[in-house]
Structures are given as C-alpha cells and as structure tokens.
Copies of this chain bind each other. A is one copy, B any other.
Amino acid sequence: MSDSKEPIDFYFDFSSPYGYFAAAKIEALAAKHGRGVTWHPILLGAVFKLNGQQPLANIPLKGSYAKHDMLRSARWFGLPFKVPSRFPVNTVAPCRAFYWVHDQDAALAKQFAAALYHAYFAEDRDISSAEITANVAAKLGIDKPALSAALNDAAVKERTRSEVDAAIERGVFGSPYMVIDGEPFWGADRLDQMERWLEKGRW
C-alpha cells in the first residue's frame, strides 16, 4: 500500500457461504481504495452459543430460502457454487490450519483460505475433515505432514482460540463481518456500503 491507511479487518467462518462471496471480492475492493485486508477466520459456533442464535439452515422457513438465496447470490457475484452436502460444518480444522500457515506466510494463508472456500462451496468437499483440509494445503505446496501435526498442537489450538475470543470481544457476531477504521459491516450485502465508505468516509 502506498500510504498509511489501516487494513480492513475481515472476519469469516469457513462454513459461511456469504463469507465465501466476500472473500472472493474483498481484496480487489480494498486494493482499489489503497487498502490491505487482514483475514481473520473465526468459529461461528462459539458466537452462536453466546448469543443463543442458530445457523440459518436450522430455522424452518429461513432454511429453504437460505439455500435459494445462496445459489442466486453466487450467480449475482459470478462465483461457482454448489450447496454442500453437509452444511454447516465444524471449521476448527481449517481455522487452525489457516493460523498455522499465516504465521509462516500471510499471503499464502489468504490463498489457502480461498482454496478451502472453493473446495467446500464449489467442489462440495467436506473441509471439516483434517485430511481434506491438509490435502487442500498440499496442493498449494504446504507441507502436509507438518500441517496435519499442527492441527493438534497446543500452541496452534491456543492461537485459534485467542483469535476467536478477540473477535467476540470486538463484537463480531456473524460472517462475513468487516471493520474499516472502526466501522463495522455485516454481510456480503454490505459490500456496496463499504465501497461508499472507502470512497467518501462517513456519509
């Protein structure tokens, strides 16, 4: 970045279709306005527990609309999409894997996150599996045995937990959730408001 603007904080859960849509768009949006993006995968399960919320798909009428809206929104954003056979899934493995990769190579971690999202939402591969997560990593040249070991490493677990706690502490309650200079935006359908904010600041 050519100036001193703060990066956008981007919170997401790997099981969130709207997180997938935002992940595909946010770097270009940020770059256009001279910003970087800090990616923060989180575990929505922990947040929902705190709030008494349920995943969209569990709410009777909302569930069938949700599937429909995911498919239409994927077309809206021009992204490949299949409704996963298992949805939502536990994303502890991809989340830990992300932070482990991130602490070695932050740029590679973003590629890895994009590849995990693609595996889950475009190829219907169950990324809750440590094996599948490690295979996605291996394709990017990441050391598979080292990554597989890291998934059960106490320090990696603690690193992931502290990221999730920090997100909750900050008020993150959904995915995607973006913060620009302290201003929060929830949902892939706030990318338009974010764009105006990046252009003009508070309007």
- Give A185-203 interface residues, CB cut-off 8 Å to B: 186-187, 189-190, 192-193, 196, 203
Tell me whether A171 and B65 are in contact in the complex, defined as CB-CB below 8 angstroms, given that A76-B196, A193-B72 are known contacts: yes
Q: Which residues of B contact A61 (CB under 8 A)?
A: 47, 50-51, 168, 171-173
CA distance A73 to B193 in the complex (A): 8
Cβ of A47: which chain B residues have Cβ within 8 Å of it? 61
Total interface residues in chain A, CB < 8 Å: 32
Q: Are A65 and B184 in contact (CB under 8 A)?
A: yes
* A46 sits at the interface (CB 8 A): no
Cα distance, A54 to B50, chains bound together (Å): 15
Considering only residues 44-96 of chain A, those with a C-beta below 8 Å from chain B are: 47, 50-54, 59-62, 64-65, 68-69, 72-73, 75-76
A196 / chain B contacts, CB cutoff of 8 Å: 76
Contact partners of A73 in chain B: CB under 8 A: 193
**Which one of B54, B65, B171, B187 contacts A186 once the chains associate, using CB atoms below 8 Å?**
B65
Closest B residue to A168 using CB positions: B61
Q: A51-B62, A72-B193 are in contact. List 16 more A-B contacts (CB 8 A).
A: A47-B61, A51-B60, A53-B62, A59-B173, A61-B168, A61-B173, A62-B173, A65-B171, A65-B184, A68-B184, A69-B190, A73-B193, A75-B203, A76-B192, A76-B193, A76-B196
* 6 interchain residue pairs of minimum CB distance: A61-B173, A189-B189, A51-B59, A61-B171, A62-B173, A51-B60
